[in-house]
Amino acid sequence: MFGRRTARKSEPETVQEDGTEHLDGKGRPTPKRKEAEAERKKRMTPPRNRKEAAALQKERTRSRRQMARQAMASGDERYLPNRDKGPVRRYVRDFIDVRRSAAEFLLPVLLMILMLSFLGTAWAANMVVTMWMLMIVVTTIDSVLVMWRLGRELNRRFPEGGTRGAKLYGLLRSTQLRRLRMPKPQVKVGQPLPDVYH
The model's pLDDT over 84-118, given as tens digits with 9 standing for 90+, comes to 888 999 999 999 999 998 888 888 888 998 898 88
Are 50 and 125 in a shared domain? no
% of the chain surpassing 90 pLDDT: 27
What integer pLDDT is reported at residue 41 of this predicted model?
62
Q: Is residue 19 part of a domain?
A: no
Q: What is the dihedral of CA 122, 128, 130, 132, to 10 degrees?
A: -160
DSSP state of 45: S
Q: Whole-structure pTM over 0.75, yes or no?
A: no
Our measurement of the distance from residue 149's CA atom to the centroid of its chain's CA atoms, rounded to an integer in Å, reads 24
What integer pLDDT is reported at residue 23 of this predicted model?
47
Largest Cα–Cα distance of the chain, in whole Å?
104
Contact 59, 167 (CB under 8 A): no
Helix or strand or coil: residue 189? coil
What integer pLDDT is reported at residue 10 of this predicted model?
45
Q: What is the mean pLDDT of residues 135-159?
A: 93
Q: Is residue 166 part of a domain?
A: yes
Does 148 or 45 have the greater pLDDT score?
Answer: 148
CB atoms within 10 A of CB 174: 26
What integer pLDDT is reported at residue 7 of this predicted model?
45
Q: What is the mean pLDDT of the chain?
A: 78
Express each pLDDT in 46-64 by its tens digit.
767 777 777 777 777 777 7
Which range of residues forms the domain containing residue 87?
83-180
Query: What's the domain count of the chain?
Result: 2
Are 59 and 122 in a shared domain? no
Burial state string for 86-101 with b = 16 or more CB within 10 A and e = fewer than 16:
bebbbbbbbbbbeeeb
Are 67 and 132 in a shared domain? no
